[in-house]
Chains A and B, each alone.
Chain A
Amino acid sequence: MSKKVKDQEMSFKFIWTPKNVVMNILKWILIVFFAVYTLFPLIWLVITSLKTNAEYFANPFSLPAVPQWQNFTNAFTQANLGQMIWNSVTVAFVGTILNVVVASMASYAISRFRFRGREIIFAAFSAGIMVPLNALMVPYFTIFSKIGLIDNLMSLRILYASIGLPISMFIIRGFMDAFPVEIEEAAIIDGCGFYGRFFRMILPLVKSGLVTAGTFQFITCWNEFVYANLLTSSPKLKTIQIGIRYFTNQFTTDYVSMYAAIVIAIIPSILIYAIFQKNVITGLTAGAVKG
């Protein structure tokens, strides 16, 4: 082992002084507090999904006397969750791809080219973040009605791709702005064309930004409910968020089956985030979002 490595190891060795011990205890209290704060709702959800409704009402924080696995069976069979999950997967996947493709192209134009009205166009896109989506139900319904896409999953794919553009462009543009112009100029001198620069140079270099925007977009598509309910009618076109609400109604709710459906529904979101978390964290710390 080299001397340098040994020195590094030495520098990380804990020195037992009263001050260090106190600081260390405080550090771990904070870490455990935030870990519990973050994980507790998730653990509670899983535990509650295995209880009976009577147990839930008697004590929301108790453990189930006997785990009620049939809550998960109920969720699948009564609400037809399998079909709904497939619909949500196709909607979220296509909505995300479309969104990232369009957002990256728009961001490239706004970030790398100087033309009049550039910032106005970007501001117009970004303004979309401020508009509450529920306020746009009538115009969106009218648009999809006119083009004959009511009760069709394509309406959701197009809509989700569109409504996610402001945040995606905001993230991706930040990455593109940070990318030195000189490198692109060098590529032009070497004879690299417009498409070559975009696909072979820019996109690979802003990969973290694309993955960050894509992950947010996927989660948005997966969790969206209002428009999924508005734009689809047929049972075979319903998405998972509608399935979760299958167990609620005007006055009564089968809470435990609903929680079982929620547990099933959050698995893809967690998986997607787990797979791409490294890129998302890089994206959040290196891109525009850092402010």
Chain B
Amino acid sequence: MKKSSKKLIALISTVVLSVGMFAGCGSSATEETDSSNDGTTKEETGKTEEIALTFPCIWVGSDSKAEVFGKMVTDFNTEYEGKYQVNIEEQTDYDAYEDKIRTLISTGTAPDIFTVKSFADIQLFAEAGNLMDLSTFFEDSAIGDRFITGVLDDTAIDGKMYAMPYENAIIPIMYNNKLMEAAGVTELPGSFDELWDACDKLKGTGVFPLSEMTGDNAWTSMLWYSYAVAACGGADVYDKGLEDPAFVEAAEILRKMFDYTSSDAIGADATVVNGHFFNERSAVYTNGTWILGRIKSEGVAGLYDSLALSGGLSNDGENGGAYLNAVQAYICAGKQEDPAKEEAVQAFMKFITEKDKIVELTNSSGSLFAVSVDSTEITNTLQAEIVKQSADAAFTIRNFNAAMPTAVGNAFPSALEELVLDEITPQEFVETLQKAAE
């Protein structure tokens, strides 16, 4: 009996192992045509071969753009059925996505279409000869005129276009007016000195005046630093480099901000910061327009309606009214040998930048784009106000991460933590960032 049981277990194990070994192999074979390196499906569709494009895409899953962007891809595949097909590969973890893209590019197997958030990365990939040259595509005025003035010029590398600016991050400072009024602050601060006064009053009412974090990429604190850098150094501060004294001065401002934030700010991630602002535990916050939908759905009742928005603050009476405005996602294409595939990529880029589609995407997601749309077509009033304020701003400037190489952005959170813990001075904080830039 015991012997037969052992035999039975051995038999079951063998079967399970065999099934396991071959599970997935079959499906892979069918997928092979979709994701082959040349991207061309082998299925004959009458006279022509359908060209398939691979697109590892971050706008999937629970992303606010997922539904409408997914529909755009489906519509493209329907319109070009038998000719072109875009195959979305869902990528939900952004860090893992970036690792994957870098690995694919390093191994010479860049995807046909993909997104990149850092312009420095685009420069790197372009220098390595991994990206498709899109210059002739943008020379067509019907395409070039679709974009916000100047954004294409900012994307050019040595006069050539290797990426299409797509998602734009316009970032206001958001105030909870209800908490501000309760603290006796009747006017939005216009300078950092006025902000400190407001913070003192807010602190007296038992709320955390500011929302700060050092965890993950220290996103909201990085945005505050960007506003401080703009106030201290002006519109062209990034052109002067990290050696400019404005960066140290801005670090002093950022350090002071942590005196007015929650005790859990050190190590806090976006969940903590959002949790404080959404639940009226903190009064002043900065983030992109994409957060408005979540403030409405996840914030306490009335929070969304009591939001007041403004651009940057002045420092010593200078450089007030700046607005953080940077391309958040560029669409790139892997270098192609086949001209037909280049045409397919360009057809897709043309399709997803049509104005009516961008308006639909803007209104559904809360995000903003590098394609020019009339602010009156934006249904969300706060979002429209942000677009208008940004257009009327004294000057617009990129956020710190967007303006710096990836290595500096990566070094920012740990350097900030040391700054806040008073382990380093503002001068040393900037020196740490300078070392990362080298």
Tell me, yes or no, whether A binds B.
Answer: yes
Q: Which of B61-69, B135-143, B342-350 lies on the face that meets chain A?
A: B61-69
Taken together as a complex, chains A and B put the C-alpha atoms of A101 and B23 apart, in Å, by 20
B1 interfacial contact with A, CB 8 Å: no
Q: Is the CB of A251 within 8 A of B291?
A: yes
Q: Mark B337-362, 1 if CB is under 8 A from A, else 0.
A: 00000000000000000000000000
Taken together as a complex, chains A and B put the C-alpha atoms of A134 and B95 apart, in Å, by 12
CB contact under 8 A between A248 and B93, given known A142-B107, A152-B24, A255-B271: yes
A230 interfacial contact with B, CB 8 Å: yes
Q: Which of B250-291 contact A (CB under 8 A)?
A: 270-271, 274-275, 278-279, 288, 290-291
Q: Which of A23-78 contact B (CB under 8 A)?
A: 53-54, 56-58, 60, 78
Closest to A248 in B: B92
Q: Is the CB of A87 within 8 A of B63?
A: no
CB contact under 8 A between A93 and B34, given known A60-B275, A87-B24, A233-B54: no
Q: Is the CB of A237 within 8 A of B91?
A: no
Please report whether the interface of chain A is mostly helix, strand, loop or mixed according to DSSP.
Answer: helix
A250 partner residues in chain B, CB cutoff 8 A: 58, 63, 94, 117
A151 partner residues in chain B, CB cutoff 8 A: 28, 31-32, 35
Taken together as a complex, chains A and B put the C-alpha atoms of A57 and B93 apart, in Å, by 21
CB contact under 8 A between A252 and B63, given known A90-B19, A141-B107: yes
Q: Is the CB of B90 within 8 A of A235?
A: yes
Q: Give, as a whole number of angstroms, the nearest-CB distance from A116 to chain B.
A: 36
Q: Mark A225-257, 1 if CB is under 8 A from B, else 0.
A: 110011001111110001001111111111101
Q: Which of B96-104, B123-131, B223-231 lies on the face that meets chain A?
A: B96-104
A264 interfacial contact with B, CB 8 Å: no
Taken together as a complex, chains A and B put the C-alpha atoms of A238 and B96 apart, in Å, by 14
CB contact under 8 A between A86 and B23, given known A233-B89, A251-B290: yes
Taken together as a complex, chains A and B put the C-alpha atoms of A66 and B297 apart, in Å, by 18
Q: Is the CB of A229 within 8 A of B96?
A: yes
Taken together as a complex, chains A and B put the C-alpha atoms of A245 and B94 apart, in Å, by 10
A60 partner residues in chain B, CB cutoff 8 A: 275
Q: Is the CB of B56 within 8 A of A252?
A: no
CB contact under 8 A between A90 and B35, given known A226-B96, A226-B99: no
B20 interfacial contact with A, CB 8 Å: yes
Q: Is the CB of A246 within 8 A of B61?
A: yes
B181 partner residues in chain A, CB cutoff 8 A: none
Taken together as a complex, chains A and B put the C-alpha atoms of A52 and B19 apart, in Å, by 39
Q: Which of B79-93 contact A (CB under 8 A)?
A: 89-93
Taken together as a complex, chains A and B put the C-alpha atoms of A167 and B17 apart, in Å, by 22
Q: Give, as a whole number of angstroms, the nearest-CB distance from A132 to chain B.
A: 12
A153 interfacial contact with B, CB 8 Å: yes
Q: Give, as a whole number of angstroms, the nearest-CB distance from A278 to chain B.
A: 18
A203 partner residues in chain B, CB cutoff 8 A: none
A145 interfacial contact with B, CB 8 Å: yes
B89 partner residues in chain A, CB cutoff 8 A: 233-234
Q: Is the CB of B103 within 8 A of A137?
A: yes
Q: Is the CB of B19 within 8 A of A247?
A: no
Task: Name the residue in B109, B288, B298 with the highest tally of chain A Cβ atoms < 10 Å from its Cβ.
Answer: B298
Q: Is the CB of B92 within 8 A of A247?
A: yes
A284 interfacial contact with B, CB 8 Å: no
Interface residues on A, range: 35 or more
B4 interfacial contact with A, CB 8 Å: no
Q: Is the CB of B21 within 8 A of A94?
A: yes
CB contact under 8 A between A249 and B99, given known A86-B23, A94-B20, A151-B31: no
A157 interfacial contact with B, CB 8 Å: yes
Taken together as a complex, chains A and B put the C-alpha atoms of A254 and B294 apart, in Å, by 10
A253 partner residues in chain B, CB cutoff 8 A: 62, 271
Q: Which of B138-166 contact A (CB under 8 A)?
A: none
Q: Mark A150-168, 1 if CB is under 8 A from B, else 0.
A: 1111100100000000000
Closest to B329 in A: A250
A138 interfacial contact with B, CB 8 Å: yes
Closest to A52 in B: B298
Taken together as a complex, chains A and B put the C-alpha atoms of A207 and B103 apart, in Å, by 40
CB contact under 8 A between A57 and B62, given known A90-B23, A151-B35, A233-B54: no
Q: Is the CB of B298 within 8 A of A54?
A: yes
B60 partner residues in chain A, CB cutoff 8 A: 249
Q: Is the CB of B275 within 8 A of A57?
A: yes
Q: Is the CB of B31 within 8 A of A252?
A: no
Taken together as a complex, chains A and B put the C-alpha atoms of A253 and B291 apart, in Å, by 11
Q: Is the CB of A93 within 8 A of B28?
A: no
A234 partner residues in chain B, CB cutoff 8 A: 27-28, 31, 34-35, 89
Q: Is the CB of A249 within 8 A of B58?
A: yes
A192 interfacial contact with B, CB 8 Å: no
CB contact under 8 A between A251 and B288, given known A154-B24, A233-B56: yes
Taken together as a complex, chains A and B put the C-alpha atoms of A253 and B288 apart, in Å, by 15
Task: Name the residue in B66, B91, B291 with the highest tally of chain A Cβ atoms < 10 Å from its Cβ.
Answer: B91
Please give 4 more A-B residue pairs, beta carbons under 8 A apart, in addition to A249-B59, A252-B294.
A90-B19, A150-B35, A151-B28, A230-B103
Q: Give A contacts to B, CB under 8 Å.
A: 53-54, 56-58, 60, 78-79, 86-87, 89-91, 93-94, 97, 134, 137-138, 141-142, 145, 150-154, 157, 225-226, 229-230, 233-238, 242, 245-255, 257
9 chain-A/chain-B pairs, Cβ below 8 angstroms: A54-B299, A151-B31, A151-B32, A154-B28, A230-B99, A233-B54, A242-B93, A250-B63, A253-B271
Q: Which 7 A-B pairs have the closest CB atoms?
A: A153-B24, A90-B20, A152-B28, A249-B63, A234-B31, A245-B93, A57-B275
